[in-house]
Structure 1
């Protein structure tokens, strides 16, 4: 700020000019452009090329068809919820990863001054709660299990608990 004053410039006007420049940049940058740019920045840090392919594939499958062409500053929490809603309850892991990746794109845009708020942050308040634990035993869908090092154990704490009736 001292440098601006010493140069004879008004710091408030400079800040406003920077903010206006950021909003102009955001007005021209679409979600898809931002996601692809972030993908290129992150790719060298990933050890596995398969992960890099999966990362962008998630966007191409679920996100770009709905909000890829939208300007970054026009993306709303409702738009983000609309992207996730079809997979939110059925494909919980995919939905969670998609949400995390969308959040990363918007955080990147925020860090670069393209937006001032991340709409993905509040998406959890729009969508229903996901089921925390799913059955992994297809023969006995009523039985839930937890994973332990190398074997699958019942979730009950008592070793003498009877097995579920369908097993």
Structure 2
């Protein structure tokens, strides 16, 4: 995994949306009319490059999203009314000027059009009061690392997580 940091000094330009696309943004609870599209977008992150890992991508449901009370900004990308992508940033509850970039995903049929960068750039314009954002991305996900670098993120460090069954560990 690669940890990255962005100091929000200058906001990037937001590209124009291609025909047929629209953006929906909010902070806080998911508007009911977008909850199913949002859940589908979040769950699409499961196909992101993660090399050989047993990481469990939490499967989101409408119910789990309704119950979630975290303070998040969301940009939902729709194409002709269907989800095409989503990006989510969560404010740090302890430090109001800090946030964590959580999920960014563009569904397969919409990739290769610069939409991931577009929704992340749009998100940065909504983050009132945020001065610094942290994120982590699989080091194998060259596309998202490139998108983040184009927005001004810098690499902090790279780390490796190791997983083993308790029964396989020897004293």
So what's the TM-score if we normalise by structure 1?
Answer: 0.31
Greater RCO, 1 or 2 (C-alpha within 8 Å, sep 6+)? 2
More helix by share: 1
- Rg comparison, structure with higher value: 1
So what's the TM-score if we normalise by structure 2?
Answer: 0.30
